[in-house]
Structure 1
Amino acid sequence: MSPWNYPFQLTIAPLIGAIAAGNCSIIKPSEYATNTSEIIDKLISKNFDEAYISVIKGGREANKSLLAEKFDYIFFTGSVQVGKVVMEAASKHLTPVTLELGGKSPCIVDETANIDLASKRIVWGKFLNAGQTCVAPDYLMVHSSVKEKLINKMKDHITEFYGLSPCSNKEYPKIINDKHYNRLRTLLNEENIVFGGQFNDKTNQISPTILDNVTIDSAVMKDEIFGPILPVIEFENINEVVSRVNKKPKPLALYYFSNDIKRQKHIINNISYGGGCINDTIVHLATPHMPFGGVGDSGIGGYHGKASFDTFSHKKSILKKSNLVDIPLRYPPYKNKLKLIKKILR
């Protein structure tokens, strides 16, 4: 069951793992990405027998009907709310699941970071696909001594990447539908906007936006943003960061920009999160050499590379015993055998 934000990739990538492990599969693409769903349907039906791989299209009713069936495994990518529905339905058949969810993934910048490079990589990771990426930096925590410099550098890189009018840039994506566009519009609090904030109701575009003077209790900090809005929160001490992040549900990703190796280890060892990067964003999910997935509220299980094969496989343990030797020591009656068994176990 795949989402709408990367509708082709996040359908085909887990399918490859399922095929590699020898499974028959049903694909349920997102109803929001209708054109991509049509393409997937045509590709699959043209190249595979439907008894091997088939595509089911539709909305909530199709999801509900599918989840009522008994499967050997369910792989879901999407929101936390729908993930709970999937897991509840799977539990009725004791069906194992992989849940690739999301959450508020923090990006942390301390005073030792390379600010120019950090700002460039943060802007790229946050505003890729107009922020509609499950591992996008959701909010930025920056040391007070470098906050102004970082924000100014991010402004420069946004203009460099998307121009002075991003909503007129043909390369800049739109928000998937009216529902999500209107949700994001409500988060554009003019008092906090220090850059961007423009929008186009006709094209459902919102320009890359930076919000400053945001608090943990602000509306933009309550749920995953999943759009081109970046709230900035300043801090004074790295322990303060650890405490704040740990008070929230475990994030899918965490990004830390720092040249202090001890602090890097401190963040890794003291915050639980799915995966992430030191001095970069997003790119950890591009490697096939390690699994990608969440923890706690951000997901269950992982995939990518061989981990995809492992996800859709069962490791069946088998011991094949010789018939040539059969030691009588293990059979009752034990009587005086116990002393000998204890000696052997020592």
Structure 2
Amino acid sequence: MQAAAKHITPVSVILGGKNPCYVDKSCDLTTTAHRIAWARFVNAGQNSLAPEYVLCHPGLREILVRELELCVHEFYGRNPQESEHYGRIASVEHYKEVKDFLSCGTVAFGGQTDDRERFIAPTVLIDVKETDAIMQQEILGPVLPILTVQTLEEAIQFMNRKDRPLAVYVYSNSQKVIAEVLQKTSSGSFCSNDNMIQCLYTRLPCGGIGNSGVGIYGGKFSFDTFSHSRACLLRNTAVECVTYLRYPPYAEKQLHLMQWASSLSRTNRWCNIL
């Protein structure tokens, strides 16, 4: 943005954020777990649109953790380090940052690491506090904290205490619940009953808001973002008998004539002339 400012050039910037995922009691937990596990653990979690944390009712947590673990076994086997479908952290520096997050809360499953390979197993954390380091920074790794809330209102309040994220996710079979989360939160994008796939729809814009970024891209939105829309009006010198009314000196008669001409314009009878 500093470089662009020298040339008075607009920019589109994706900065990331803490994408919340609310899991409602009415959802299909098996499908929900598959979709969350795929989004959080694909590419070893290095996806800016992946869910950063899950909010659910305390009564759901144990079941959701079990379903997520079953998904990891289904996707990557009992030992993900041996799976050809599971990635590694891209850099040593980031590997160390993600590894440090494993000290937050309690490891429900996963947690294995290998410094030589920059390997971190798909991991779910429970008993994480809102003040823990993992809740202050973007994870970009295969670690998913699950926090509990008693009500939907509490979940929305929790989301809104954070900076506005790239995406907000909600899993529910209730359209009322989905609508309430959509209306009462702010994010670059929103997706119900799935994760990350909103970026695949070229008719939807991708982008952030606030601390998660500025500007949008995707499909025609990319063309519009990186193009300059030049306003161009081609006129002629005809109908000066009407347009002269803009010139001073001004009088009540001119005002009335302009109001009359404007009323005709609104009915589209004189649009081309005015």
Q: What is the TM-score when the length of structure 1 is the normalising length?
A: 0.72
Give yes or no for contact 2:106–2:127 (8 Å, CA) kept in 1: yes
Separation of aligned partners in 2, 1:128 and 1:279: 18
Instruction: Give the equivalent residue in structure 1 for 2:255.
Output: 338
Instruction: Give the equivalent residue in structure 2 for 1:221.
Output: 135
How many angstroms does 1:190 deviate by? 7.5
- Sequence identity percentage: 38
SS of residue in 1 equivalent to 2:221: helix
SS of residue in 1 equivalent to 2:217: coil
SS of residue in 1 equivalent to 2:128: coil
Instruction: Give the equivalent residue in structure 2 for 1:259.
Output: 173
Separation of aligned partners in 2, 1:200 and 1:172: 14
Instruction: Give the equivalent residue in structure 1 for 2:208.
Output: 294
Separation of aligned partners in 2, 1:265 and 1:186: 36
Give yes or no for contact 1:99–1:300 (8 Å, CA) kept in 2: yes
Please show how residues 45-194 of structure 1 align to structure 2 within 5 Å.
87-189=1-103, 192-194=106-108
Instruction: Give the equivalent residue in structure 1 for 2:145.
Output: 231
What do the CA deviations read for 1:249-275 (whole angstroms, capped 9, x no partner)?
000011100011111110000100011
How many angstroms does 1:191 deviate by? 5.6
How many angstroms does 1:168 deviate by? 1.9
SS of residue in 2 equivalent to 1:193: strand
Separation of aligned partners in 2, 1:287 and 1:337: 53
2:193 aligned to which of 251, 262, 279: 279
SS of residue in 1 equivalent to 2:59: coil
What do the CA deviations read for 1:181-204 (whole angstroms, capped 9, x no partner)?
111111112861010001111111
**Higher relative contact order (Cα pairs below 8 Å, separated by 6+ residues):** 2
SS of residue in 1 equivalent to 2:96: helix
1:329 and 2:248 are equivalent in the alignment? no
Over the aligned positions, Cα root-mean-square deviation in angstroms equals 1.4
What letter corresponds to residue 246 of structure 2 in structure 1? R
Range with bigger deviation, 223-232 or 88-97: 88-97
Give yes or no for contact 1:132–1:227 (8 Å, CA) kept in 2: yes
SS of residue in 2 equivalent to 1:194: strand
* Structure 2 residue runs without a partner (length 5+): 264-274
Q: Structure 1 residues 154, 88: CA separation in 2 closer, same or farther (over 3 Å shift)? A: same
Give yes or no for contact 1:292–1:302 (8 Å, CA) kept in 2: yes
SS of residue in 2 equivalent to 1:254: strand
What do the CA deviations read for 1:122-165 (whole angstroms, capped 9, x no partner)?
00000010000010111111122211111100000001101111
What letter corresponds to residue 172 of structure 1 in structure 2? Y
Q: Structure 1 residues 193, 319: CA separation in 2 closer, same or farther (over 3 Å shift)? A: same
Instruction: Give the equivalent residue in structure 1 for 2:233.
Output: 319
SS of residue in 2 equivalent to 1:152: helix
Give yes or no for contact 2:105–2:129 (8 Å, CA) kept in 1: no
Separation of aligned partners in 2, 1:193 and 1:339: 76
Separation of aligned partners in 1, 2:197 and 2:105: 33
What do the CA deviations read for 1:41-86 (whole angstroms, capped 9, x no partner)?
xxxxxxxxxxxxxxxxxxxxxxxxxxxxxxxxxxxxxxxxxxxxxx
Bigger Cα Rg:
2
How many angstroms does 1:342 deviate by? 3.5
Give yes or no for contact 2:182–2:190 (8 Å, CA) kept in 1: no
Separation of aligned partners in 2, 1:319 and 1:293: 32
What letter corresponds to residue 68 of structure 2 in structure 1? M
